[in-house]
Amino acid sequence: MKLSDIKGVFNTHALRVKSAEQLAEGFIKVELESGGLEWLPGEHGIFTLPGKTFAGRKWRAFSIASVPDEGVVRIGTRAGNPLSGFKQTLAQMKPGDTVTLRGPFGWYKLPDDSSPVVLIAGGTGITAARAVLTQALKQESRMIHLVHAASASHLYKDELSKWRNKKLDMHFTHESEVTESILDDLAREYGNKAYYFVSGPPKMNSAYIKRLKSKGIAKKHIIVDPYFGY
């Protein structure tokens, strides 16, 4: 982590809601008008809901799933059971309502323009991976692999599946053994020629970081999303 990765935390932006919905699959998806906001794919922000009253924690940190040229700040999170006051309020927001974003900031970002990329996402960790994947697809010399592990539904699967091409290999898995086997194969194929992006619940992150290191992958080639607020 560098100082430049966190300096954005001192910036605050008021963004208007474009859409918010709670999906039957147990996810909440929100799009905010970017209003000219700039960020690097893979960064996240701290979100608050000004003027809204609800029980529990008043903020959440979410990865931004979109890139600036999409014109929206897209976030996705698991609804949870029970649904927190913050997430319930977020899912019920109407177009034109205001959300405050502190940031963007973070270090889950592409380090160069050409190295192969392996994106290992668990659950709604796919939000951070989607942004990095979107950016990496613009760099035609780069090979990209996405491994998205989920216990049930895969957020953004329908959209991402349409992006598959000869430079983009994708796996949507349910069983940990399958995920681990794919990860082992990719570590053997690329070693430290690739960068490995890990985004998921803390326990999953720790397990896959340990597994990658056991396969000889250097720490500097493993980039981890902190997964603060999902």
Assign domain 3-105 to a CATH class: mainly beta
Percent with pLDDT over 70 in the chain: 97
Distance linking the first and last C-alpha atoms of the chain: 21
Q: Compute the average pLDDT of residues 204-228.
A: 92
* Reported confidence tier of residue 227, pLDDT bands at 50, 70, 90: low
Tell me which of 217 and 164 has the higher pLDDT: 217
pLDDT for the residue 141: 82
> What would the two tokens of residue 125 be?
């960790």
The pLDDT tens digits of the residues spanning 62-92 come to 999 999 999 999 999 988 788 899 999 999 9
The pLDDT tens digits of the residues spanning 142-177 come to 999 999 999 888 989 999 999 988 899 999 999 999
pLDDT at 125 over 80: yes
Contact present, 172 and 154 (Cβ < 8 Å): yes
Q: How far is it, in rounded angstroms, from Cα 144 to Cα 121?
A: 13
Assign domain 117-224 to a CATH class: alpha beta
Contact present, 156 and 134 (Cβ < 8 Å): no
Domain boundaries, the chain: 3-105, 117-224
List helix spans (H) across 55-156. 85-91, 126-136
Q: What is the mean pLDDT of the chain?
A: 92
pLDDT for the residue 1: 62
Contact present, 217 and 191 (Cβ < 8 Å): yes
Nearest to 46 by CA among 122, 106, 120, 125: 106
pLDDT for the residue 197: 97
